[in-house]
Amino acid sequence: MSSSSAQSVSILELYPDHLEASGERGNVTALRARLERAGHRVDVVQHTIGRRVPKDADIVVIGNGPISAVRAVHADLIENADALRSLADDGVPFFAVGAGAELLGGGITLADGTVLDGVGIFPFSARRGVPRQVGYIVVESAHGTVVGFEDNASEWNLEAGAVPLGVVTSGGGNGNGREGVISGSSVATQTKGPVLPLNPSLSDAIIRAALERRDVAYAPSTAHAELDRLAAKSREVIVANVKSVFTTI
């Protein structure tokens, strides 16, 4: 039975004090705004060091941060690895950015050769210390053109058979012409910061996957029109300025 009446949707936000260094809070903001404009109630649960990851969530979000922050959350993440993997196994969509995504992957090899193990939700591993990519990025993906800002010195090596989020048409991405990795309905990306506000179709794909699990319908409406119009205009300017943005610095 499909229901389109108002539902409460829970977003689990991992380590907001450590891994939202580049505005990734905006991804939660975007998901919340789109869900609320579709008539749903949103509960955001923040997981911080020392707490237990809850057994239930509809969407899990994690962001980017410096290596010192990655080290700071690492032990807690490993403590909660089983709970996170069980959410992933249940089909809960994850949206993961930068260093947070790397922690949810197979592991991070740092520039000095040491390895931080990950929790294995995404099928890739990261190698730090490669030449840095900074600037606007444009990616052609199954969810349409994804645009945003990247800032990383990290190469993502996907496991055999793993599917990237898309193909880079401008920017660096994983380092081999591809960007990010998907696993079921979960998305990991190197496009840092608030990528979801700029990319409504990606946001909607995650929301749909979350609500389909609960047999709840979701469709953007006129209440979303202004968000979508402003995102489209922002995207136009980013694509137009993709090569020139750094000439002013």
Partner 1 sequence: MRYIAPVLVGRAVRAVTRARGGGSALPGYIVNKMAPGFIKNVVAQFEYGVVFVLGSNGKSTTTHMLTEVLRGHGLTVFTNPSGANLPQGISSALLSEVSVTAKLKADIGILEVDEAFALELSKTLLPSTILMLNVQVDQLYRFFETEVVADMMLDTAAVATKHVISNRDDAYLSKIGEILTKKAAVVPDVTYFGASAKLVADSAHGLFNAANHREEASTAPLDALAELESWDSTGARIRVGGELADIALPAKGLHYGIDAAAALATAAQLLGTEFDLAKASAAFSSMTPAYGRGELLDFGDEKVEFVMFKNAASLQLNLDALPAAPEQVMVAIDEGTPDVSWLYDIDFVQLDHVDVLTGAKAWQFALRLEHEGIPVGTIEPDLKKAIELMRALPAPATGHKTWVVNYEQMMLARKIIGYGDMEVSF
Q: Name the H helices within the chain.
A: 25-37, 67-79, 81-89, 98-103, 195-198, 200-213, 225-241
Which contiguous run of DSSP H or E holds residue 109?
Answer: strand 107-109
82 near partner 1 (CB under 8 A): no
Which contiguous run of DSSP H or E holds residue 60?
Answer: strand 59-62
Six-digit token string for 178:
């591809």
192 near partner 1 (CB under 8 A): yes
Q: Nearer to partner 1 by C-beta: 10 or 29? A: 29
245 near partner 1 (CB under 8 A): yes
DSSP state, 233?
H
Count of residues near partner 1 by CB under 8 A = 44
Site string for partner 1, 142-181 (x = CB under 8 A): -------x-x-x----------------------------
**How far is Cα of residue 211 from the mean position of the Cα atoms in its chain?**
17
Judged by CB under 8 A, the stretch of 88-96, 114-122, 162-170, 228-236 that binds partner 1 is 228-236
CB contact at 8 A, 179 and 190: yes
220 near partner 1 (CB under 8 A): no
241 near partner 1 (CB under 8 A): yes
Buried b (16+ CB within 10 A) or exposed e, 78-92: eebbebbeebbeeeb
Least distance CB 163 / partner 1 (angstroms): 26
Q: Say what the alpha-carbon torsion angle 203, 206, 210, 216 is, to the nearest 10 degrees.
A: 60
Was 214 annotated as part of a binding site? no
Q: Which amino acids are annotated as binding site for substrate, given as ranges?
A: 132
Q: Which residues bind partner 1 (CB under 8 A)?
A: 17-18, 20-26, 29-30, 33, 65-69, 71-72, 132, 134-135, 149, 151, 153, 192-194, 197-198, 226-227, 230-231, 233-234, 236-237, 241, 244-246, 248-249
